[in-house]
Structure 1
Amino acid sequence: MATLKVPPQPPSPSEDSEQLRKAFQGWGTNEALIISILAHRNAVQRKLIREAYYLAYGEDLLKDLDKELSSDFERAVLLWVLDPAERDAFLANEATKKLTSDDWVIIEITSTRSSLDLLKAKQAYQSRFKKSLEEDVAHHTSGDIRKLLVPLVSTYRYEGDEVNMTLAKSEAKMLHEKISKKAYNDEDLVRILTTRSRAQITATLNQYKNEFGNAINKDLKTDPKDKYLKLLRATIKCLTYPEKYFSKVLRLAINRLGTDEWALTRVVTTRAEVDLQRIGEEYQRRNSVPLDRAIAGDTSGDYKGFLLHLAGHDN
C-alpha cells in the first residue's frame, strides 16, 4: 500500500524536465516547484524525467539537484530520484563504509525486498562500485554477524505461497531446540532464516508459537544488548512483519533527543511506493499519533514538505 499520490495524467517527462530546469534558474532555487513535480512521480516516471533532462540539457539531473539543494532536503530528493535498485545499492554501500557499519540497512534490503529486487540491487551495486555486495558485506563484518549477513545477501528465495506443513513442524522443533540450547549462531537456524520463502518461514514461526507458547522473537530476547541477537530478531521481523519493523525504526528516529534524519529519510524514500500507508497505520496504532503529525512535529522547511508529500499529505 503506497502513499505516493501521482496525478492521473501527469505532464510529459520533457515538460517535467523543462520545469525542473526553470526551478534551478533565476535568483535562488524554486524548491516548491521541485517538490510539486518529483514528490508526485513514480519510479518509472522519475527515470524518464532523468532521461529527458539529459537529452535536453546534456547534464545529469542528479548532479544539478546536488548543486541546487542542501542538507536533509537534498539527501531525501537525491535518494528519491534514484532508481530503486540504484538507491538500494547506494544505501548498502554507504552502510558498509560507515565507521561502525550500519548492519540494519543490510538486513532491511535483504529481508524486505523481493528476490528479483534484491538481485537488481546487487547488479546495480556491481555496476556502480565494481565489486559485489557479498564481497563488501563479508569484508566489513566478522563472526556471527558475517555468518548471518552474507547468506542473506546471497539468497534468492522462492516467492510463492506454497507451504510444506511437515517441514514447518520439523523446522519449528529444530529452531526451538537450538534456541533452548542458546545455539543462536547454529548453521541450521541461520539456514532456515536465510533460505526459506517468507510464506514457509511464517508457517514455521506460527507453528513454533502454537507448539511452544512463545513467539520466537520473545525467546531470542535473552540478552537485549547482544547485537547479533538484535539483528536476528530484526531479520525475522523484516521477513514476516515489515511494517512493524519500520514503524519501530521511525519511532526511534523521531522520538530521540535529536531526530535521526538519515533513518527517517531512508524509510520514507524506500517505502513510499511500497507499504508506507501500512507502516503509518502500525505507527499510529503503537504510538497513538498519526505518522504525518509526528514527521511534521520533528522536521521543518522543504525537508518536512517533501517527506509529507511522499507520505501522501499535501497540506
Structure 2
Amino acid sequence: MATLKAPSQPPSPSEDSDQLRKAFQGWGTNEGLIISILAHRNAAQRKLIRDTYAATHGEDLLKDLDKELSSDFERAVLLWTLDPAERDAALANESTKKLTASYWVIMEIASTRSAIDLIKAKQAYQARFKRSIEEDVAYHTSGDIRKLLVPLVSTFRYEGDEVNMTLAKSEAKLLHEKIVEKAYNHDDLIRILTTRSKAQLSATVNLYNNEFGNAINKDLKTDPKDEYLKLLRATIKCLTYPEKYFAKVLRLAINRLGTDEWALTRVVTTRAEVDLQRIAEEYQRRNSIPLNKAIANDTSGDYRSFLLALAGHDG
C-alpha cells in the first residue's frame, strides 16, 4: 500500500530531465519544479530520468541536486532519487558511522525488506563501499547486538505464506522457555528470529501471545533500558508487524523536542512506495492525528512540501 502518486502517463524521461536541468538554471533553484517531478515518479521512472540526465547533460543528477539544494530538503530528495538498493546501502553505511544507536537502521533494513531486496542492498553496498555489509556490521557492533545483527543481515528468508503450525507451537514454547530463563541471547532464540519466514514467525508470535499470558514483547521488557532487549523487541515487531514499528519511529521522531529529521526522512523515503499508507493508518489509530497533519505541523518549507507529496498529500 504505497502512498506515492505517480502519473500513469508521465512525461518522457528526457522531458523530465530537461525540466530538472531548467530548475537548476537561472537566479535561483526552482524547488517547486523539482518536487513536482521527482516526488511523483516511481523508482523505475526515477532511474530512467537519472540515466537520461547523464546521457543528455553529461552530469550526474545526484551531484547537481547536491549542489543546488541544502539541509533536510536536500537529504530527502537525494535519498528518494537513489535506487532503493543504493538507498538502503547508503543508509546502512551511514548508520554504522553514527555515534549512537547505529544498529537500528541495519535491523530495520534486514527485517523489513524482502529476501531479494536485501540481497540487492547488499550487492549495492559492496559495489559502493568495497566491503560487505556483514563485515561492517560485525566490526561496528559487539556482544549480543552483534550476535543478533550479523545473522539477521546474512539471512535469505523463505517468502511464502505456508505455515507449519506444529513447528510454530514448539518454537513458541521454546521462545517462552528461553525468555523465562532470561536467556535472551540463546542460540535457538536467535536462530528462530533470523531464519524463519515472516509468515512462520507471525504464527509463532501469535501462539506465544495467546498461550503464555503475555505478549512476547511485554515479556522482553524486563529491563526497559537494556539496549539489546530494545533491539530484540524492535526486531520482532519489524518482522511481524512493520507498520506498527514504523508508526512508533515516526511518533518518536515527530513528538520529541526538536524533530528527528534523520528518522522522519528515512521512514518516508523508504516506505512511500511500500506501505506508508498502512503506516499512516496505524499512526492515526495510535495518535489520533493524521500522519500528514503531524508532518505538516512539525516541518516547514520545501522539506515539508516534499515529504507531504511522498505521503500522497500535495500542498
The two structures have a TM-score, normalised by structure 2, of 0.99
The 2-side partners of 1:102 and 1:280 are apart by: 25
- What are the within-5 Å matches in structure 2 for residues 64-213 of structure 1? 64-213=64-213
| Shift, 1:100, TM fit | 2.8
Alignment correspondent of 2:239: 239
Count the aligned residue pairs: 315
Q: Is the 8 A contact 1:209 1:216 kept in 2?
A: yes
| Shift, 1:196, TM fit | 0.3
Alignment correspondent of 1:41: 41
Which aligned runs of 4 or more in structure 1 are off by greater than 4 angstroms?
none
Alignment correspondent of 2:217: 217
| Shift, 1:101, TM fit | 4.8
2:202 aligned counterpart, secondary structure: helix
Alignment correspondent of 1:274: 274
Alignment correspondent of 1:60: 60
Alignment correspondent of 2:314: 314
Alignment correspondent of 2:283: 283
The 1-side partners of 2:100 and 2:280 are apart by: 29
Q: Is the 8 A contact 1:110 1:152 kept in 2?
A: yes
1:133/1:79 CA distance change after superposition, 3 Å: same
Alignment correspondent of 2:255: 255
Q: Is the 8 A contact 1:111 1:235 kept in 2?
A: yes
Q: Which residue type is aligned with residue 209 of structure 1? A: N
The 2-side partners of 1:314 and 1:173 are apart by: 49
The 2-side partners of 1:35 and 1:276 are apart by: 18
Deviates further, 112-121 or 97-106:
97-106
Deviates further, 35-44 or 162-171:
162-171
The 1-side partners of 2:191 and 2:179 are apart by: 14
Q: Which residue type is aligned with residue 297 of structure 1? A: N
Q: Is the 8 A contact 1:101 1:140 kept in 2?
A: no
Encode CA deviations 1:272-315: one digit per residue, 9 max, x unaligned: 00000010000000000000000000000000000000000012
Structure 2 runs not aligned, ≥5 long:
none
Q: Is the 8 A contact 1:251 1:283 kept in 2?
A: yes
| Shift, 1:120, TM fit | 0.2
| Shift, 1:128, TM fit | 0.2
- What are the within-5 Å matches in structure 2 for residues 15-54 of structure 1? 15-54=15-54
The 2-side partners of 1:179 and 1:295 are apart by: 38
| Shift, 1:21, TM fit | 0.2
Alignment correspondent of 2:5: 5
Q: Which residue type is aligned with residue 17 of structure 1? A: S
Q: Which residue type is aligned with residue 26 of structure 1? A: G
| Shift, 1:234, TM fit | 0.3
The 2-side partners of 1:204 and 1:265 are apart by: 33
Structure 1 runs not aligned, ≥5 long:
none
| Shift, 1:97, TM fit | 1.2
Percent identity of paired positions between Structure 1 and Structure 2: 84
The 2-side partners of 1:93 and 1:8 are apart by: 34
The 1-side partners of 2:43 and 2:126 are apart by: 21
Query: Could you say what the CA RMSD is over the residues aligned between the two structures, in angstroms?
Result: 0.6
1:251 aligned counterpart, secondary structure: helix
The two structures have a TM-score, normalised by structure 1, of 0.99
Encode CA deviations 1:60-88: one digit per residue, 9 max, x unaligned: 00000000000000000000000000000
| Shift, 1:99, TM fit | 2.2
